[in-house]
Amino acid sequence: MTSTTEDERLDAVFTALSDRTRRDILARLGVGEATVKELAEPYAMSMQAVSQHIGVLERSGLISRGRHRQTRPCRLEPAALEAALSWIEASRRTWADRMDRLESRLADLQEDR
């Protein structure tokens, strides 16, 4: 199976979302922009560790960093989340359809008894 750019982006998004700290950072950014220092405040980890988490989020496209005077605030990029949600919803529909067909087939088998 050939990997596409879209597949690679989804892989990066799901990898980024697999970590609780990164999910927490995304939730914080859902409220509004924040600096790395502000994002690091609730954690008992080094700024370097928080910066690494932010790097993963940035490479996945889930966040971007702007420039405001002397700071580089982070902001949420909802389009990357929308792509993941679209994939999840398509998978959910596929599995729901499969389960409906299985349920129908089992009902047919019960009637044939």
Per residue in 41-60, pLDDT tens?
999 999 999 999 999 999 99
| pLDDT at residue 72 is higher than 90 | no
pLDDT at 17: 96
pLDDT at 15: 95
How does residue 1 score in pLDDT terms, banded at 50, 70 and 90?
Answer: low
pTM above 0.95, yes or no: no
**How far is the CA of 69 from the CAs of 5, 22, 36, 66, in angstroms?**
34, 26, 15, 10
**How far is the CA of 73 from the CAs of 7, 65, 79, 91, in angstroms?**
28, 6, 18, 34
Domains of the chain (ranges plus CATH)? 5-112 (1.10.10.10)
Per residue in 19-43, pLDDT tens?
999 999 999 999 999 999 999 999 9
DSSP3 helix / strand / coil % (the chain, rounded to 5): 70, 10, 25
